[in-house]
Amino acid sequence: MVVSGFGTSALWLASGVWVRELTGSDGLAALCLLAMWAPTLVGPLLGTLADRVRRKPLLIGADLLLAGLLLTLFTVDSPGRLWLIYTVLFVYGATGVVADAAESALVAAAVDRSLLGDFNGLRMTATEGMKLVAPLAGAGLFAAYGGPGVALLDAVTFVCAAGLYACVRVREERPEPATRAWRAQTAEGARFLWGHPGLRPLVLAGGTTMLFTGVCGALVYAVVAGLGHSPAYTGTLYAVQGAGSVVVGTASGPALRRLGERRFAAYGIALTAVAVAARAVPYDPVALACSLASGVGLPCVLIAATTAVQRETPDALLGRTAATAGTLIFAPNVLGLAAGAALVELTDYRPLLLALGAALLATAARLLQSPASADRTAVRSPSDANPA
């Protein structure tokens, strides 16, 4: 995870810079991120593959596939070959969705259930740690050797990751032959997730949180302008937020054992709510403290939901259920970014931040309800009564 995550974070930055350099277009550069995110919208369908084959060979094959695919970027030398960059990034994103589902299922098989929270916290620490260093490395490599140099780095990291996956000791039974159509199998994972009284509130709270924080993310440049800084100051805020996520990842295991998934997630959402609202204060120390608090609070619901899905889902359903949960949690972030980009043009950012903080506090409060109370509330809700 650390090795391949380093290459992915480096490519994520370099691909946009590469397209911007070839075309001079900010819009075309932004499409790189969209190409990587788009497959998340069909995550449940892609995740079903992780339940139809053994996960360890699937992860090794996915890494080797991406390593070979990245080498095709060496042929990109003009705007006429931009389609190749977008195609590679789209396949990259789709393969990543499958790999995430297989990885989640493999972790559940290889790691003792009592340590899943610790492992997922360490995974968060590793992921955020790579985001702090890999983009800088990617930018430096791009400046020295261009886009192909970054693609080669990413390809090498995938080969190394495949070798490390081969060293993982885990016993996997061959899945039962499929007796139903692909769509029917996908629906089984969604049906299990929706019908589980413990998983559904966590996943919905995660998706709601990512929706509101997506809107907040689109306001960051307005916040920086309100502080009187140039847009480059955004990098400082993101670095501080990443440091907070590194810290919470190391403490999540003991916290989950002490609090349980619901309370751990709810307290994290509440901390994020306070941090979002306080960003309306145009004062540098407050802004930095809010970034740190967001970095600590936001991962809590993600770690809690991932751990709960791994613990509560039968192995035969885990790949597609994890992929469905991933789509429900992370797809709203894209919608939030789009909504925030529109709202910041229409109104002042400070009232928006206060409203987002209140909405996040309401999300935390609902999650803190007892399961029985939450179920009664869900039954009274027309939208929950007819999820279709």
259: tokens are 């609090």
Q: What values do phi and psi take at 313, rounded to 5?
A: -95, 130
> What would the DSSP string read from start to end of 154-186?
HHHHHHHHHHHHHT-----PPPPPP-S-HHHHH
Instruction: From 262, 326, 299, select the one nearest 105 (Cα to Cα).
Output: 326
Neighbours of 133 (CB within 10 A): 13
Q: What is the CA radius of gyration of the chain?
A: 21
Checking if the pLDDT of 268 tops 90, the result is yes
**379: buried, middle or exposed (CB in 10 Å: 19+, 13-18, 0-12)?**
exposed
Lowest mean pLDDT among 9-23, 252-266, 340-354, 371-385: 371-385
Q: What is the mean pLDDT of residues 179-196?
A: 83
What gap in Å lies between CA 59 and CA 98, rounded to an integer? 9
Lowest mean pLDDT among 120-134, 285-299, 373-387: 373-387
What gap in Å lies between CA 328 and CA 209, rounded to an integer? 11
What gap in Å lies between CA 203 and CA 102, rounded to an integer? 19
So what's the pLDDT on residue 140?
82
Share of the chain above pLDDT 70, in %: 92
What gap in Å lies between CA 16 and CA 11, rounded to an integer? 9
257: tokens are 């054992």
Higher pLDDT, 304 or 24: 304
118 neighbors 251 (Cβ within 8 angstroms): no
Lowest mean pLDDT among 3-7, 68-72, 257-261: 3-7
> Could you give all domains of the chain from N- to C-terminal order, each with its CATH number?
2-171 (1.20.1250.20), 185-378 (1.20.1250.20)
Would you say how long the chain is, in residues? 388
So what's the pLDDT on residue 179?
64
Instruction: From 222, 274, 269, 217, select the one nearest 248 (Cα to Cα).
Output: 269
The percent of the chain in helix, strand and coil, each rounded to the nearest 5, is 85, 0, 15
Q: What is the mean pLDDT of the chain?
A: 85
Checking if the pLDDT of 30 tops 70, the result is no
Instruction: From 221, 222, 209, 248, select the one nearest 365 (Cα to Cα).
Output: 209
176: tokens are 């039962």
**201: buried, middle or exposed (CB in 10 Å: 19+, 13-18, 0-12)?**
buried
129: tokens are 């740690």
What gap in Å lies between CA 180 and CA 253, rounded to an integer? 38
- 101-139 pLDDT per residue, tens: 999 888 888 888 889 999 999 888 888 777 777 767 777
Lowest mean pLDDT among 110-119, 155-164, 329-338: 329-338
